[in-house]
């Protein structure tokens, strides 16, 4: 996999540094090697690139000035929040300006009457719920990085979390955005109301990975905090039975707040790390959280317990108190770092599959892992079909990183083949550009490029991310013949 | 147990050119090819097309002057429905009623409670048009604030753009962030970006029981009460106020409903199911007649007196949707709705005049330019449903 995904010829214009310094306050334009180093990657650390310059604007007018300068000089712009993204969406460009919105960190208003909060993009996800807590309200999407990740990044990636099944993704939990075009013009999409006139640009801009516009303010929807949350932990002797139990809960008309699965390698790693009392002999555990109105939760806990036992669980535990509920979650929440202890490096994948395909996909992942001589632990948002295989490797062993990436690519292609997608919640970024060539054909990718051009005709916003060029897909296709046919027969190969 | 699945099962190709399933809808290959051919012909002739299903929502939006009709009703049939996946995929011409019956057999339903708009016969079992029309208009019913909108439920679409290309975006899974979300963009687009061929939508379990409670109160008291309730995790799934009566629907287990009733008080309503359906389908007396009908979508925190004709309004969506009939000063009404964080739509013009700039709130200049550029990105010749969304689009 190429380390530098951007296929544009470099066009360094160092004059932009002086121009930025002239319009931004002292100390907010960074260009020395030492100053740039912290910005060279996001949460996908395998890809690194120092930007030409970093700008840290403090208000909307300053962002407008930065964008106008970049637009007029045709300098590409990458916008960044906390840099916790896992797909390289905030990877800088060597000849580009990296705009950090870290200083946009104010909660502007919390309105309990309209169940909403107006916040700047650099506000941390968890800080919104903390500000809403005195009113008995919270912001529902909770990506695992919620103590650090920012709401602007959440909107750009359409982030999920463990409670998506019941509460939806970011797109379901925001009302309105204020944005800037690449030309620096301010515009709004959405309303304080539940809909807006015209095309649903709010839906289009959410998850657009910084390719279409720059988000400068967000109005999020708040929900009343559940009266009660209760968790069950169930052990299974095989993954198929656990998968069937998930389908059984859904078919019974219950929508859990969270429904998570871990396979045996993930269970053992988590138990070794945090001693949550997980059954280490089990081939799979399910963690099912039910929340909401007290009387409803009581009813559902009984139903789910019966369903798990009749589906063939070898053991079902119901958390006796809040301490035990948190303990059940502790193992799941520690799964990634726990797996990190098994291996110097790991690579986290993010495919989504129809739930019914779970047993087949897990079997095939195990076969693929054996083919590549690598270990894989599986952590899975079972309720919504979002799979996080963790591929263990050691970057110090020559060739292992490349093997891990190839295995990751093969797993994502498997997800597409069974009717799923290459990314459920982490985004495409630079990481999954090749797999986008598998999921979409030429005309679909061309349509996406035309949508990009409708917002950003010169291709200056985060170029090289999210949607691969046809040329890239042709080169990738030359290596991967898909279903016995070349995907891009009309393009030259060289 | 019988197998309720209509899934094509093991089909390994994520982007099949032609669905292999013809279980319900006749010859699918032909019906899709016919639509593609008509768009190609229109493109070659530079002739505009008016996309049409059964016409149940033809009253909604601005009128499209195109004489040539692209009839989607022949492209019908359920492509995949597996209840445990909580998703259904069907062709755009499939009747809403048919899909709802299929879902009901599995105790499932659409989360957005789609209205069934009229065949004008006043019958209680109106077909409600097609799946394509439902998504293209993006109109949701009473449950919208509580379980989400049509847009929220869209998982994927198969689309025919104005260049005659068949494109597939999104999928049948709940979480999918690969590429731009061009499938949700189609909800409420009134066909100006493309012809919907197939849509995948999220479905939810039908709650085991419902209870509707009635409180007598003024509009301002009702709005305050709704706001107080909205701040608690109550199982409310619909709300409406009209002429001094506040009606709320609760959904869940019998235990949860009994507990909610104890907390909220009010008088249970016997004929609740039909009352909500009459409201949903706008067969309530308020909606009848030929007076212009305005739809004001505003912040739920908007006080009653911030909008005209307060006590004559019909309120839904916890106060976020306010219906108003009669002749209005259009500019003033739009300004008031905008000040209330929302927008005003002339939902049914009735006997009143059509505003020159269309029935929807006009767009700000930057947003308008983005609309025009997006339209060109999908339909460069402007042949699909011209003027339906905005007179200059």
| CA distance linking residue A251 with residue A273, whole number of Å | 35
For strand B166-170 and strand B108-109, is the pairing parallel, antiparallel, or unpaired?
A: unpaired
Residue B144 sits at the chain A interface (C-beta within 8 Å):
yes
What pLDDT is stored for residue A161 in this prediction? Answer: 87
Q: Do the chains contact at B175 and A172, CB–CB below 8 Å?
A: no
Which among B144, B163, B176, B319 is the top mutation candidate for probing chain A, defined by the most A β-carbons within 10 Å of its own β-carbon?
B176
Long-range contacts of A394-400 (CB under 8 A, 24+ apart): A394/A343, A394/A344, A394/A345, A395/A344, A395/A345, A396/A344, A400/A374
What pLDDT is stored for residue B301 in this prediction? Answer: 97
Average pLDDT over residues A313-327: 95
Q: Which residue has the tokens 């409406």?
A: B240
Give the containing element (helix H, strand E) for A99: strand A97-100
Averaged confidence pLDDT in chain A:
92
Evaluate if residue A411 carries a pLDDT over 50.
Answer: yes
Confidence of residue A478 (pLDDT cuts 50, 70, 90): low
Higher-scoring residue by pLDDT: B289, B192: B192
Q: Do the chains contact at A444 and B169, CB–CB below 8 Å?
A: yes
Residue A198 sits at the chain B interface (C-beta within 8 Å):
yes
In angstroms, what separates the C-alpha of B200 from chain A's closest C-alpha?
Answer: 12
Least Cα distance to A366 among A263, A455, A226 occurs for A263
Instruction: Count Cα atoms within 13 angstroms, Cβ side, for A106.
Output: 7
Q: Are B214 and B267 in contact (CB under 8 A)?
A: yes
Nearest to B167 among A137, A298, A444 (CB): A444
* Residue B219 backbone dihedrals phi, psi, to 5 degrees: -60, -45
Q: Do the chains contact at B205 and A454, CB–CB below 8 Å?
A: no
Evaluate if residue B61 carries a pLDDT over 50.
Answer: yes
Residue B300 sits at the chain A interface (C-beta within 8 Å):
yes
Q: Which residue has the tokens 């949701």?
A: B140
Give, in words, the CATH class of A228-336: alpha beta
Evaluate if residue B22 carries a pLDDT over 70.
Answer: no
pLDDT tens for each residue of A7-38: 678 888 889 999 999 999 999 999 999 999 99
Domain boundaries, chain A: 15-100, 107-224, 228-336, 343-427
Give, in words, the CATH class of A343-427: alpha beta
Contacts of B259 in chain A (CB under 8 A): 293-295
pLDDT tens for each residue of A109-120: 999 999 999 999
Pick the CATH number of A15-100 from 3.40.50.300, 3.40.50.1100, 3.30.43.10, 3.30.470.20: 3.30.43.10
Residue B270 sits at the chain A interface (C-beta within 8 Å):
no
| CA distance linking residue B302 with residue B148, whole number of Å | 21
Q: Is the dihedral of CA B125, B129, B134, B139 positive or negative?
A: negative
Nearest to B371 among A198, A223, A467 (CB): A198
In angstroms, what separates the C-alpha of B67 from chain A's closest C-alpha?
Answer: 24
Q: Are A224 and B236 in contact (CB under 8 A)?
A: no
Average pLDDT over residues A406-428: 93
* Residue A260 backbone dihedrals phi, psi, to 5 degrees: -115, 145
Confidence of residue B200 (pLDDT cuts 50, 70, 90): very high
Residue A69 sits at the chain B interface (C-beta within 8 Å):
no
Q: Do the domains spanning A228-336 and A343-427 agree at the CATH topology level?
A: yes
Give the 3-state DSSP-derived string for chain B, with helices as H, strands as E and coil as C.
Answer: CCCCCCCCCCCCCCCCCCCCCCCCCCCHHHHHHHHHHHHHHHHHHCCCEEEECCCCCCCCCCCCCCCEEEECCCCCCEEEEEHHHCEEEEECCCEHHHHHHHHHHCCEECCCCCCCCCCCCCCCCCCCCEHHHHHHHCCCCCCHHHHCCHHHHEEEEEEEECCCCEEEEECCCCCCCCCCCCCHHHCCCCCCCEEEEEEEEECEECCCEEEEEEEECCHHHHHHHHHHHHCCCCCEEEEEEECCEEEEEEEECHHHHHHHHHHHCCEECCCHHHHHHHHHCCCCHHHCCCCCEEEEECCCCCCHHHCCCHHHCEEEHHHCEEEEECCCCHHHHHHHHHHCCCEEEEEECCCCCCCCCCCCCCCCHHHHHHHHHHHHHHCCCCCECCCCCCCCC
Confidence of residue A282 (pLDDT cuts 50, 70, 90): very high
Contacts of A153 in chain B (CB under 8 A): none
Secondary structure letter of residue A83 according to DSSP: S
Evaluate if residue A483 carries a pLDDT over 80.
Answer: no
Nearest to B184 among A203, A296, A298 (CB): A203
What pLDDT is stored for residue A477 in this prediction? Answer: 74
Nearest to A384 among B174, B206, B345 (CB): B174
Residue A288 sits at the chain B interface (C-beta within 8 Å):
no
pLDDT tens for each residue of B40-53: 999 999 999 999 99
Q: Percent of chain A, pLDDT > 90? A: 82
| CA distance linking residue A398 with residue A385, whole number of Å | 34
Q: Do the chains contact at A197 and B172, CB–CB below 8 Å?
A: no
Evaluate if residue A40 carries a pLDDT over 80.
Answer: yes
Averaged confidence pLDDT in chain B:
91
Residue A345 tokens read as 């490096």
Q: Are B328 and B294 in contact (CB under 8 A)?
A: yes
Contact partners, residue B96, CB within 8 Å, separation at least 6: B114, B116, B127, B128, B129, B130, B131, B134
Q: Do the chains contact at B180 and A208, CB–CB below 8 Å?
A: yes
Evaluate if residue B4 carries a pLDDT over 70.
Answer: no
Q: Which residue has the tokens 């699945």?
A: B5
Max Cα–Cα distance, chain A, nearest Å: 70
Secondary structure letter of residue A384 according to DSSP: G
ipTM of the complex: 0.94
Secondary structure letter of residue A113 according to DSSP: T
Residue B389 sits at the chain A interface (C-beta within 8 Å):
yes
Evaluate if residue B14 carries a pLDDT over 80.
Answer: no
Q: Do the chains contact at B377 and A454, CB–CB below 8 Å?
A: yes
What pLDDT is stored for residue A489 in this prediction? Answer: 46
Average pLDDT over residues B100-108: 97
The CATH number of the structural domain formed by A107-224 is: 3.30.465.10
Evaluate if residue A6 carries a pLDDT over 60.
Answer: no
pLDDT tens for each residue of B122-174: 444 457 899 999 999 999 999 999 999 999 999 999 999 999 999 999 999 99
Q: In a 10 Å sphere around its CB, with 0-12 CB exposed, 13-18 middle and 19+ buried, how is residue B368 labelled?
A: middle
| CA distance linking residue A32 with residue A34, whole number of Å | 5
Nearest to B231 among A137, A201, A427 (CB): A137
Please state the separation of Cα B378 from the chain's center in Å: 22
Average pLDDT over residues A87-98: 96
Residues 411-430 of A with CB under 8 A from B: 416-428
In angstroms, what separates the C-alpha of B121 from chain A's closest C-alpha?
Answer: 30
Q: Do the chains contact at B341 and A114, CB–CB below 8 Å?
A: yes
């Amino acid at each position: 996999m190429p380390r530098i995904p951007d296929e544009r010829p470099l066009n360094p214009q160092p004059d932009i540094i002086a121009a930025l310094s002239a319009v931004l306050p002292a100390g907010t334009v960074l260009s020395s090697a030492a100053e740039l180093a912290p910005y060279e990657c996001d949460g996908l650390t395998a890809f690194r690139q120092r930007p030409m310059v970093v700008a840290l604007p403090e208000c909307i007018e300053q962002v407008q000035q930065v964008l106008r300068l970049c637009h007029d000089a045709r300098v590409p712009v990458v916008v960044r929040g906390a840099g916790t993204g896992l797909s390289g969406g905030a990877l800088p460009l060597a000849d580009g300006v990296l705009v950090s919105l870290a200083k946009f960190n104010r909660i502007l208003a919390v309105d309990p009457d309209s169940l909403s909060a107006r916040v700047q993009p650099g506000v941390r996800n968890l800080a919104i719920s903390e500000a809403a807590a005195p009113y008995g309200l919270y912001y529902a999407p909770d990506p695992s990085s919620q103590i650090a990740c920012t709401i602007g990044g959440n909107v750009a990636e359409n982030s999920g979390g463990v409670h998506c099944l019941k509460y939806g993704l970011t797109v379901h939990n925001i009302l309105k955005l204020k944005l800037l075009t690449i030309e620096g013009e301010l515009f709004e999409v959405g309303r304080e109301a539940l809909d807006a006139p015209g095309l649903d640009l709010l839906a289009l801009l959410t998850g657009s990975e910084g390719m279409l516009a720059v988000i400068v303010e967000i109005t999020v929807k708040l929900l009343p905090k559940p009266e009660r949350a209760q968790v069950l932990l169930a052990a299974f002797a095989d993954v198929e039975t656990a998968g069937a139990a998930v389908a059984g809960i859904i078919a019974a008309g219950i929508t859990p707040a969270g429904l998570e699965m871990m396979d045996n390698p993930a269970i053992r790693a988590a138990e070794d790390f945090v001693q949550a009392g997980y059954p280490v002999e089990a081939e799979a555990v399910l963690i099912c959280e039910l929340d909401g109105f007290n009387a409803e939760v009581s009813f559902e806990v009984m139903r789910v317990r019966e369903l798990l036992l009749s589906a063939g669980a070898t053991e079902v535990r119901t958390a006796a108190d809040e301490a035990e509920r948190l303990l059940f979650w502790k193992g799941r929440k520690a799964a990634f770092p726990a797996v990190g202890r098994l291996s110097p490096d790991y690579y986290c994948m993010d495919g989504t599959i129809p739930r019914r395909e779970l047993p087949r996909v897990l079997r095939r992942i195990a076969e693929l892992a054996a083919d590549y001589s690598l270990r894989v632990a599986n952590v899975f948002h079972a309720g919504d079909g979002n799979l996080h295989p963790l591929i263990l490797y050691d970057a110090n062993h020559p060739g292992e990183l490349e093997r891990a990436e190839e295995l990751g690519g093969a797993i994502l292609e498997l997800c597409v083949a069974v009717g799923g997608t290459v990314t459920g919640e982490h985004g495409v970024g630079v990481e999954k550009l090749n797999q986008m060539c598998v999921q979409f054909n030429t005309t679909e990718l061309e349509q996406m490029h035309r949508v990009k051009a409708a917002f950003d005709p010169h291709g200056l916003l985060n170029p090289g991310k999210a949607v691969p060029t046809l040329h890239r897909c042709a080169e990738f296709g030359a290596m991967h013949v898909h279903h016995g046919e070349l995907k891009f027969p009309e393009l030259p190969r060289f | 147990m019988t197998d309720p699945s209509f899934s094509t099962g093991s089909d390994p190709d994520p982007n099949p050119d032609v669905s292999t399933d013809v279980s319900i809808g006749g010859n699918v290959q032909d019906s899709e090819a016919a639509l593609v051919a008509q768009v190609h012909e229109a493109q070659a002739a530079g002739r505009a097309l008016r996309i049409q299903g059964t016409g149940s929502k033809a009253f909604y939006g601005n009128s499209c002057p195109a004489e040539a009709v692209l009839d989607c009703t022949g492209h019908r049939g359920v492509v995949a429905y597996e209840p445990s996946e909580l998703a259904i995929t069907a062709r755009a011409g499939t009747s809403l009623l048919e899909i709802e019956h299929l879902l009901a057999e599995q105790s499932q339903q659409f989360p957005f409670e789609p209205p069934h708009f009229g065949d004008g016969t006043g019958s209680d079992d109106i077909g409600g048009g097609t799946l394509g029309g439902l998504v293209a208009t993006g109109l949701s019913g009473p449950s919208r604030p509580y379980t989400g909108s049509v847009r929220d439920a869209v998982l994927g679409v198969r689309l025919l753009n104005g260049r005659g290309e068949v494109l597939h975006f999104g999928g049948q899974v709940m979480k999918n962030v690969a590429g731009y979300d061009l499938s949700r963009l189609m909800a409420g687009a009134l066909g100006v970006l493309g012809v919907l061929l197939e849509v995948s939508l999220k479905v939810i379990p039908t709650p085991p029981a419902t209870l509707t409670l009635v409180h007598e109160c003024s509009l301002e008291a009702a709005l305050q009460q709704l706001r107080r309730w909205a701040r608690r995790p109550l199982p409310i799934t619909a709300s409406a106020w009209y002429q001094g009566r506040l009606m709320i629907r609760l959904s869940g287990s019998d235990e949860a409903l009994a507990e909610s009733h104890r907390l909220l008080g009010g008088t249970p309503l016997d004929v609740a199911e039909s009352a909500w359906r009459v409201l949903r389908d706008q067969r309530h007396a308020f909606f009848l007649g030929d007076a212009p009908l305005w739809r004001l979508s505003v912040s739920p925190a908007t006080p009653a007196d911030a909008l005209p004709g307060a006590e004559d309004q019909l309120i839904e969506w916890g106060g976020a949707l306010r219906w108003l009939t009669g002749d209005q000063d259009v500019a003033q009404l739009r300004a008031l709705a905008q000040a209330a964080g929302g927008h005003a739509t002339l939902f049914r013009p009735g006997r009143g005049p059509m505003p020159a700039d269309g029935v929807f709130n006009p767009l700000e200049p930057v947003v308008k330019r983005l609309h025009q550029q997006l339209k060109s990105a999908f339909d460069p010749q402007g042949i699909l449903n011209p003027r339906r969304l905005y007179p200059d689009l």
